[in-house]
Amino acid sequence: MPTSPFPHPGPEDEKLIAAARAVLRRNYHPVRHSVGAAVLCASGRVYTGINVEACGYGPCAEPVAIGAAFSNGERTIKAIVAVHKSGRRFPVLSPCGNCRQLIYDYAPDAIVIFSDKGKTVKARARDLLPGAYSSHW
């Protein structure tokens, strides 16, 4: 992965991480809800979501948070982060491949805050999925 041109997460990023942690703390269930996500939109509003486990498949927290934002009329996502529960901690999580594609499709210029070798870092969504498929919507 290329070196990120972005500085390490700052105070605004920490607020977004805190929102993801808060939604997971409120809704944590060891089998059904173990990841929380938060998106920051151009309006300045933050929307959250949790993963939804079901038989065979359930959406990750990132698409649920993106869906919440879009359901409320937002169209521009500036940043996104996901966290998971690990003991008493809620560390930042890297988005899975499906989520990277979804974020790329809806917000290729959004900043993704993620974990890389145990460090919290950030990069543009487009840089997390080299050679991404594009439907040219």
Question: Domain count of the chain?
Answer: 1
- Cβ-Cβ contacts under 8 Å for 99 (sequence gap 6 or more): 60, 62, 63, 82
pLDDT in tens, 75-106: 999 999 999 999 999 999 999 999 999 999 99
Strands 77-84 and 111-116 turn out to be: parallel
Has residue 57 been placed in a domain?
Answer: yes
pLDDT of residue 11: 83
Has residue 136 been placed in a domain?
Answer: no
pLDDT in tens, 118-136: 999 999 999 998 888 887 6
Has residue 35 been placed in a domain?
Answer: yes
Has residue 84 been placed in a domain?
Answer: yes
Has residue 1 been placed in a domain?
Answer: no
Domain span including residue 73: 11-128
CATH of residue 45's domain is 3.40.140.10
Has residue 90 been placed in a domain?
Answer: yes
Give the global pTM: 0.88
Note if 53 is an active site residue.
no
Has residue 2 been placed in a domain?
Answer: no
Catalytic residue among 12, 53, 62, 74: 62
CB atoms within 10 A of CB 135: 5
